[in-house]
Structure 1
Amino acid sequence: MDNEDKWLEWAVRLQAIAQTGLAYTKDVFDKERFEEIRQIAAEMLVIPSGLPLEKVEDLFCNESGYQTPKIDTRAAIFKEEKILLVQESDGRWALPGGWCDVDQSVMDNTIKEVKEEAGLDARAERVIAILDKAKNNPAQSAHHVTKIFILCTSLGGKFAANSETIACDYFGLDELPVLSEGKTTAKQIAMCFEAATDPHWQTRFD
């Protein structure tokens, strides 16, 4: 682990301690100290992230309650032995998906993301995997993230460019485009191919 990764790890841990303290303490003095710890954690992220302090504070210090991982849902949809990917504005590709909204179940959020990003109506079939992002994706994050991969079936629809994606297409495992690896890796796509062809697939988790 290099120094930048270590700084991120420390900042995330300090943020979690501060947020938990703010959620439970009744003492005014303690609240002030926990607010200060959270502010220091945000300032620690400015250099490794390259973001201005105001943006870091907005992303990092606006939650309340006990600190828990964020949930990211990803849909695996197949057609003629190829998998559906969506292209983001930076030109990279990923499985359709995103943060699970606070008022959505995993299934509902997966279906919603497919509609928003690929223009397709979908039916969620089964859970392929529940993976820790820090263990499986190269991009570091200020949030701890649990990624849930869902095998889905397309019920039809039509893609239209939107605020999140500029294209969608189906790809074979041996013809994958440049991926947004913080969201989807080639190994994760290979796992989805394996799950789609194995009727006895058992959900992977770490």
Structure 2
Amino acid sequence: MVELAAIAQTGLYYSADPFDRQRYAQVGEVAEQLRALVTAGPVPELGRLVDPEGGHATPKVDARGAVFDAEGRLLMTRERSDGLWTLPGGWCDVLEPPTTNVLREIREEGGVEARLLRVAAVLDREVRGHQPPLPVHVYKLFFVCEEVSRGGALDAKEILEVGWFDPDDLPPLSTARILPDEIAICVAAWRDPSLPTVVD
């Protein structure tokens, strides 16, 4: 369904031939009809499933920070939306580099100033098997960071609490956002900086 929407959107962006544009528009309508079949409740606006701005359809980017303190504990935040735990982070903002984005998210969601050390992984949400599936394709960037200071104000709209955890004894995870194997990749990269970046 998402792939059909992406094909339609990209085709409409690049094609000048009126017959091709008509076919791509039909593909987009089929994607909308399929989405309607699997959507519970009122059907939202289904056009432009992949990129609301149109153009060539591209994935969204989610950046997460694995912040470690001097004792090797991992910073985690408990999400208000599901009451479960994740690494601080979220969607990258337009006109903001991913490194700036992740450090800002760590500050806002975790109340921590951090120093970026390295990229641990560039992963594909679909390949990794996150549930539930999203109506967009997502790349997930994981940065290993170290704590500089803590005690800043938290974004109470999104975050219930913050904690520091032994990587071998983690709280219940918000698996829509983070999976145990993704944390394991970050922990391994923290413990051994010579490891290569993991890329799907």
Q: Shared fold (TM-score greater than 0.5)?
A: yes
Residue 162 of structure 1 deviates from its aligned partner by 2.2
Task: Return the alpha-carbon distance in structure 1 between the equivalents of residues 78 and 198 of structure 2.
Answer: 26
Residue 111 of structure 1 deviates from its aligned partner by 1.1
1:34-90 Cα distance to aligned partner (Å, 9 max, x none): 334323313312343436322544755623111112111110001222111111111
Matches for 1:22-41 after TM superposition, within 5 Å:
22-28=12-18, 30-41=20-31
SS, match of residue 54 in structure 1: coil
Task: Return the alpha-carbon distance in structure 1 between the equivalents of residues 39 and 153 of structure 2.
Answer: 33
Residue 185 of structure 1 deviates from its aligned partner by 0.7
1:88-117 Cα distance to aligned partner (Å, 9 max, x none): 111011111111112111211111211221
Alignment partner of 1:108 is 2:100: yes
8 Å contact kept, 2:9–2:48: no
Q: 1:73 aligns with which of 48, 51, 63?
A: 63
**Equivalent position amino acid for 1:84 in 2:** L
Alignment partner of 1:83 is 2:74: yes
8 Å contact kept, 2:5–2:49: no
Query: Which position in structure 1 is the counterpart of 2:35?
Result: 45
8 Å contact kept, 2:114–2:146: yes
Query: Which position in structure 2 is the counterpart of 1:155?
Result: 148
Q: 1:186 aligns with which of 162, 173, 180?
A: 180
Q: 1:47 to 1:144 in 2, by over 3 A?
A: same
> TM (normalized to structure 1)?
0.84
Query: Which position in structure 2 is the counterpart of 1:8?
Result: none
Task: Return the alpha-carbon distance in structure 2 between the equivalents of residues 169 and 159 of structure 1.
Answer: 14
1:108-166 Cα distance to aligned partner (Å, 9 max, x none): 11112112211222222110011111111331222111111001122224242422212
Percentage identity across paired residues of the two chains: 37
Query: Which position in structure 1 is the counterpart of 2:90?
Result: 98
Unpaired segments ≥5 residues, structure 2: none
Task: Return the alpha-carbon distance in structure 2 between the equivalents of residues 111 and 29 of structure 1.
Answer: 47
> TM (normalized to structure 2)?
0.87
8 Å contact kept, 2:2–2:49: no
8 Å contact kept, 1:137–1:181: no
Task: Return the alpha-carbon distance in structure 2 between the equivalents of residues 35 and 120 of structure 1.
Answer: 47
Query: Which position in structure 2 is the counterpart of 1:172?
Result: 166
8 Å contact kept, 2:63–2:102: yes
Q: 1:137 to 1:112 in 2, by over 3 A?
A: farther
Unpaired segments ≥5 residues, structure 1: 1-10
Query: Which position in structure 1 is the counterpart of 2:194?
Result: 200
Q: CA RMSD in A?
A: 2.1
